[in-house]
Amino acid sequence: MRELIHRPRRLRRSAAMRRLVRETVVTKNDLLYPMFVTAERESREIPSMPGVYRYTVDALCREVEKIAKLGLPAIMLFGIPEEKDAVGSGGYAEDGIVPRAIRSLRKAIGDSILIVPDVCLCEYTAHGHCGIIEKGDVANDPTLELLARAAVCYAEAGADVIAPSDMMDGRVAAIRAALDTNGFTQTPILAYSAKYASGFYGPFREAADSAPQFGDRRTYQMDPPNRREALREIALDIEEGADMVMVKPGLAYLDILREARDNFDVPLAVYNVSGEYSMVKAAARNGWIEEARVVDEILTAFKRAGADIILTYHALDFARRHG
Ligand code: PBG
Q: What is the pLDDT of residues 91-123, one digit of tens each?
A: 999 999 999 999 999 999 999 999 999 999 999
**How confident is the model over 59-68, as a mean pLDDT?**
98
* Confidence at 295, pLDDT banded by 50, 70, 90: very high
Q: Is 154 touching ligand 1 by the criterion CB < 6 Å?
A: no
Tell which atom from ligand 1 comes closest to the C-alpha of 201: 14
**How confident is the model over 311-316, as a mean pLDDT?**
98
Please check the confidence at residue 1 and state whether its pLDDT lies above 80: no
The predicted pLDDT at position 270 comes to 99
Q: What is the pLDDT of residues 220-239, one digit of tens each?
A: 999 999 999 999 999 999 99
Q: Whose CA is nearest to atom 5 of ligand 1?
A: 165
Tell which atom from ligand 1 comes closest to the C-alpha of 78: 6
Q: Is 273 touching ligand 1 by the criterion CB < 6 Å?
A: yes
**How confident is the model over 80-88, as a mean pLDDT?**
96
Q: Is 130 touching ligand 1 by the criterion CB < 6 Å?
A: yes
Cα of 10 vs centre of ligand 1, distance in Å, is 45
Distances (CA, A) of 225 to 196, 254, 256, 276: 9, 13, 11, 19
The predicted pLDDT at position 133 comes to 96
Distances (CA, A) of 35 to 29, 133, 258, 268, 271: 17, 27, 27, 20, 13
CATH 3.30.70.1400 corresponds to the domain 26-322: no
The predicted pLDDT at position 125 comes to 97
Cα of 20 vs centre of ligand 1, distance in Å, is 38
Q: Is 120 touching ligand 1 by the criterion CB < 6 Å?
A: yes
The predicted pLDDT at position 323 comes to 80
Tell which atom from ligand 1 comes closest to the C-alpha of 221: 9
Percentage of the chain beyond pLDDT 90 is 98
Percentage of the chain beyond pLDDT 70 is 100
| Predicted TM-score (pTM) of this structure | 0.97
User: How many angstroms separate the first and last alpha carbons of the chain?
Assistant: 48
The predicted pLDDT at position 285 comes to 98
**How confident is the model over 179-184, as a mean pLDDT?**
98
Write the DSSP string, 243-285: SEEEEESSGGGHHHHHHHHHH--S-EEEEE-HHHHHHHHHHHH
Average pLDDT score, the chain: 97
* Domain locations in the chain as residue ranges: 26-322
* Catalytically annotated residues: 195, 248
Please check the confidence at residue 2 and state whether its pLDDT lies above 90: no
Yes or no: say if 3 and 282 are a contact pair by the CB < 8 Å rule: no
If one counts every other C-beta atom within 10 angstroms of the C-beta of residue 171, the result is 28
Q: Whose CA is nearest to atom 10 of ligand 1?
A: 201
